[in-house]
Amino acid sequence: MALNQHTAGSLASLLCAEMDGPADIICTGASSIAESKEGDITFMASAKYARCWADCDATIGIVQKEIDVQGHDASSRTLLRVDSPELAMAKVLELFKTSVDIPLEGIHESVVVDSSATIGSKVRIGPNVVIAANAVIGDGAIFCSNVRIGSGCTIGSNTTLRSGVVIEHDCVVGDDCLFHPNVTIGADGFGFCPASDFSSLVKLQHVGNVEIGNCVEIGANSCVDRGKFSSTKIGNGTKLDNLVQIGHNCRIGENCVFAATSAIGGSVQIGNWVQIAANVGIAPHCKVGDGAKIGAKSGVMHDIPAGEEWLGLPAGKMSEVLRQWASTRKLPGIIAQFGRSTDQ
C-alpha cells in the first residue's frame, strides 16, 4: 500500500473503534466534513456534524459512539465509532502530518559552537546556529536554521527548536519540547522606575532565568521573559499558542493551554490544567487556581479560585457576568418604559 493510504480496518484497530461498513475501503487524506472529498476521512464530534454525513463526500467518518448517523450507506462508506472523536482525530492526523524541513543528523558546517559547550549524540543542527559557552545540548535535539543558544543554557533531549528560536543565557529547557519559529526565551523582563529627578526611566536589570519543563510546546513569536531575581517557570506539558507573552517571575503549572495573543503580567501564579482563551490579559501578581478557565478578551485583575470560569473586562465569574450582560440588554426597553410612565 502507498504511503499515507490506510484502510478502514487498520484505522479501526488503531482507534479501538466499532466499524460500520467495509474494512477494505481506503482513505488517503483527512479533512473537515464541509470540505471532504472521496478518499478522505472526516470527524463528527456532535450530532450537528453527523447530520451532514449523508451529503458529504468523505469515504470514512469518525463519530461519537452514541450519535445516530442518518443516511449512512454501509455498503460504500465506513463509520468508525469511538469514545472520543477528538482523541481519535489526533491519532489519525499524526498519520497524515507532513514533515517539516529538519536538518540531517549531525552538525552543519556553518554552525558556531563554543569549545566549552557539550553536544549530545544524534543531534540535528542546521545552518547558522550559534551555541555559546558552557551550553549543554541533550541527545537527539533538533535545531533548525538560525537558532541561537546563549551561554550556560541547558536544552533537553529530543527537543526541537524551529528556525529563529533564541534561548538567552542560563535558561533551562526540558526534554521533548517543541518551540516554533522566532520564539524567544529569557529576554529581559519589562521593568523601569523613574529617575530621582524624573528626567528619565531607569532600567531594572533582570538577573534570574527561565526554567521550562518537559513536553512544552510554544507557538511562533511567543516570548517568555527571564525572572527579575529568580526563575520564570513553565510546568510540564503546558502549551502556548502563537504571540503569547509570559512576564518575569511567572509560575505556570502543568498541562495548561494559552490561546494566541494572551499576555500574562509579571509574578502571576497559574495552577495546573488552566485554560486561557485568546487575547486574555492578566494583571501582575494575580493567582489562578487549578482547572480554572478564562474566556476570550477577558481582563483579569483579581485572583481566580480553582475550577471557576471567568469572563469579561474586568473579568468576573462567568455565570454572574452573563447575567449582567443579559440585564444590560434589557436597559433600553426599561428606560423607554420609564420615560413613557413619567410622561403620563
Q: What is the distance between the terminal CA atoms of the chain, rounded to a whole angstrom? A: 83
Q: How many CB atoms lie within 10 A of CB 198?
A: 7
- Cα separation, 300 vs 83, in Å, equals 35
Q: Which residues 6+ apart lie within 8 Å of 229 measured at CB?
A: 207, 208, 249
Asked whether the bond before 181 is cis by omega within 30 degrees of 0, the reply is: no
Query: Exactly one of 6, 180, 206, 248 is catalytic; which is it?
Result: 248
What is the pairing mode between strands 263-264 and 245-246? Answer: parallel
- Cα separation, 80 vs 92, in Å, equals 12
**DSSP letter assigned to residue 306:** T
Q: Helix axis angle, 8-15 relative to 85-96, nearest 10°?
A: 120
Q: What is the grid cell recorded at 107?
A: 552538525
- Cα separation, 131 vs 115, in Å, equals 10
**DSSP letter assigned to residue 208:** -
- Cα separation, 47 vs 65, in Å, equals 11
Report residue 256 CA to chain centroid gap.
Answer: 8
Using alpha carbons, list the distances in angstroms from residue 193 to 188, 196, 292, 313, 338. Answer: 15, 9, 33, 28, 52
Determine whether 6 is an active site residue.
Answer: no
Q: How many CB atoms lie within 10 A of CB 310?
A: 23
Residue 276: closest CA among 261, 267, 285? 261
**DSSP letter assigned to residue 97:** P
To which residue does cell 475550577 refer? 307
Q: What is the grid cell recorded at 62?
A: 469518525
- So which residues are the catalytic ones? 248
